[in-house]
Amino acid sequence: MKMACQKKYETLLHKYLDGETNQEERTELFHHLKTCEECARHYRELKKTMMLVQSSSHIDAPAGFTENVMKNLPEKKKRVSWKKWSRRHPFFVAASLFIILMASSLISVWNEQAGEEISVQGSRDVAIDEEAGTVIVPEGETVEGDLTVRNAKVEVKGEVSGDLTVINGEQYLASAGEVSGEIEEVDQVLEWVWYHTKRITKDVFTMGEETGEQE
Amino acid sequence: MDAVVKRLIREIKKEGDQDAFAELVDLYKDKVYQIAYRMTGNSYEAQDMAQEAFLRAYANLESYDESRKFSTWLFRITTNLCIDRLRKKKPDYSLDAEIQGTDGLTGYSQVAASETLPEDQVVTLEMQEWVQRAISGLPEKYRAAVVLRYIEDLSITEISDVLDLPENTVKTHIHRGREALRKRLGNA
């Protein structure tokens, strides 16, 4: 008899504590609690227990908690700030991208050309010795205009009326030789890149003029 | 609050914005820490679990479904971590549970004896420890339900979402948890 009473009213008690009883059930429960000392004590104990649990004070996270979490986050911040930064400086990004592309394409051209055959621009009146890797402006000869030589040693015994440019090689000016313009030796990749940038820029402008004339 | 949380989450998802995440941690750290503390019963482990919960939330934010409450998702990570941790070290404490029960009695008699003393602060502190010991004595699934219900003040529906259990199971866990606590705290 007692066990049955406990089971039934224990369930009802918990239902009540969860706020899920209807008016009828509540009337029944409280009527029973008035007459059954055991169930009434059970109810008092449960209420007291839950009040104790609820009244246990709220504990806050320790100081510096957020900083600790942030310190342990995976490394991602750099990429983020770079992203933000690049959004703020679009011109700089475009410019550096241009320079990188330009440089890399020039470097690849340089690599293709390195160790390639001798090439001479500007004049045919020179002696090319492929095996020795030399280009000679013979004595008494005059090269009109600029002379550009790639992948060879240049010996000037005659005359060059314009500039002499030696790419990936060296020049030797014989005592009798003469170069009226500037002599430029290009053998560092960077110098070569600079030289090309100058030339491309010039070409672009000249082309612009030409198209302009054609129209 | 919800609008703020939604905005922060969008910023974190879109750009991995760590400042936004720091704001989110600030908003939830006390609740998460509280759950971890009540579940583990000590501040050292609570800090460890709470921190780990936030780190996992950050790493798995992509899998968070924005149509649901963020706190529910975060609390689920926290309780799962704590339950896993408790299960791993279980040997030390199912044996201790009985001892803790009697410990509780001594704790209570101490509280009762000192109630006449003017040091309210001390009484409260001892009382807190006594209650926490009783909570720590609960099996972890009952403990999670009781902590979420009575300390975090969540509804049965929310708890069922957090623990990923049917509402009726949650109710049963709370009932059993309440009865177990009553035996430790209620009959003195």
CATH number at residue B2: 1.10.1740.10
Tokens of B84: 């896993």
Determine whether the interchain pair A56/B131 forms a contact, defined as Cβ–Cβ distance below 8 Å: yes
The pLDDT confidence band at residue A171, using thresholds 50, 70 and 90, is confident
Mean pLDDT of the region A114-140? 76
pLDDT score recorded for residue A205 = 73
pLDDT at B90: 64
pLDDT tens-digit series, residues A82-97: 667 777 788 888 888 8
User: Coil, strand, or helix at residue A19?
Assistant: coil
CB contact under 8 A, B54 and A69: yes
From chain A, pick out residues whose CB is under 8 angstroms from the CB of B131: 52-53, 56
Range of the domain at B55: 1-89
Nearest to A52 among B58, B175, B185 (CB): B185
A204 pLDDT tier (thresholds 50, 70, 90): confident
* B85 and B101 share one domain: no
A19 touches chain B (CB under 8 A): no
What interhelical angle do B156-163 and B70-88 show, nearest 10?
60
**What is the domain count for chain B?**
2
Percent of chain B's residues with pLDDT above 90: 57
Please name the amino acid found at residue A142.
Answer: T
pLDDT at position A122: 76
Q: What's the pLDDT at A214?
A: 47
Interface contact B29-A66, CB threshold 8 A: yes
- Asked whether the beta carbons of B35 and B148 are under 8 A apart, the reply is yes
Least confident residue range of A77-81, B100-104, B128-132, B147-151:
B100-104
Of A102, A113, A109, A202, which Cα lies nearest the Cα of A149? Answer: A113
CATH number at B172 reads 1.10.10.10
Q: Please give the pLDDT value at position A79.
A: 55
B68 and B49 co-located in one domain: yes
B122 touching chain A per CB within 8 A: no
Instruction: Answer whether B78's CB lies under 8 Å from B49's CB.
Output: yes
Predicted confidence at residue B105, as pLDDT, reads: 38
pLDDT on residue B122: 59
pLDDT in tens, B88-129: 876 554 444 433 444 443 333 333 333 444 455 555 788 888
Looking at the structure, do residues B109 and B176 belong to the same domain, yes or no?
yes
What is d(CA B18, CA B90) in angstroms, rounded to the nearest whole number? 36
Mean pLDDT of chain B: 83
Residue range A48-70: average pLDDT? Answer: 89
Shortest Cα distance, chain B CAs vs residue A72, angstroms = 8
Check whether residue B183 and residue B122 sit in a common domain. yes
Question: Does B61 lie at the interface with A, CB-CB under 8 angstroms?
Answer: no
What's the Cα-to-Cα distance from B94 to each of A40, B8, B45, B97, rounded to whole Å? Answer: 31, 42, 18, 5
Residues of B in contact with A50 (CB under 8 A): 150, 178, 181
State the average pLDDT over residues B133-140: 92
* Structural domain ending residue among the three candidates B89, B111, B143: B89
Give yes or no: residues B103 and B188 share one domain: yes
Q: Does the pLDDT value for residue A193 go beyond 90?
A: no
Q: Kindly report the nearest CA distance between residue B68 and chain A, in angstroms.
A: 24
> Which tokens go with A134?
């030399």
Task: Give which of B129, B135, B127 is closest to B93, Cα–Cα.
Answer: B135
Domain extents in chain A: 2-46, 119-214
Residue A57 Cα distances to A93, B151, B164, angstroms: 55, 9, 27
Q: Which long-range contacts (CB under 8 A, 24 or more apart) does A154-162 make?
A: A162/A122
In this structure, the answer to whether residues B125 and B168 fall within a common structural domain is yes
Q: Which residues pair with A149 in a beta bridge?
A: A120, A166
Tell whether B81 and B123 lie within a shared domain.
no
Give CA A93 to chain center in angstroms: 10
Same-domain pairing of B137 and B166: yes
For the residues B9-32, what does the mean pLDDT come to?
A: 90
Residues B101 and B120 in one domain: yes
The pLDDT, as a whole number, for residue A195 is 78
Q: Is the pLDDT of residue B181 over 90?
A: yes
Using DSSP's 3-state secondary structure scheme, residue A111 falls into helix
At residue B16 the predicted structure's pLDDT band, cuts being 50, 70 and 90, is: confident
* Structure confidence at residue A163 (pLDDT): 83
pLDDT in tens, A176-191: 777 777 887 776 666 7
pLDDT of residue A200: 77
Do B80 and B139 belong to one domain?
no
> Are B3 and B59 in a shared domain?
yes
**Of the residues B89, B110, B134, which one is the last residue of a structural domain?**
B89
Q: Alpha-carbon torsion B171, B173, B175, B178, what sign?
A: negative
Minimal Cα–Cα distance from A82 to chain B, Å?
A: 11
Q: Choose one of B29, B58, B89: the last residue of a domain.
A: B89
The pLDDT score that the predictor gives to residue B149 is 94
How close, in Å, is residue B187 to chain A by CA atoms?
A: 6
Q: What is the pLDDT of residue B115?
A: 40
pLDDT in tens, A94-108: 888 888 888 888 777
Predicted confidence at residue A173, as pLDDT, reads: 75
* B97 and B185 co-located in one domain: yes
ipTM of the complex: 0.77
Which pLDDT value is given to residue B93?
47
Q: Which pLDDT value is given to residue A155?
A: 82
pLDDT at A158 over 70: yes
Q: Provide the pLDDT for residue B103.
A: 40
User: For chain A, what is the total number of helices (H) and then of strands (E)?
Assistant: 7, 11
Pairwise CB contact (< 8 Å): A69 & B51: yes
Q: Under an 8 A CB cutoff, do A57 and B124 touch?
A: yes
Task: Give the model's confidence band at A175: pLDDT under 50 very low, under 70 low, under 90 confident, else very high.
Answer: confident
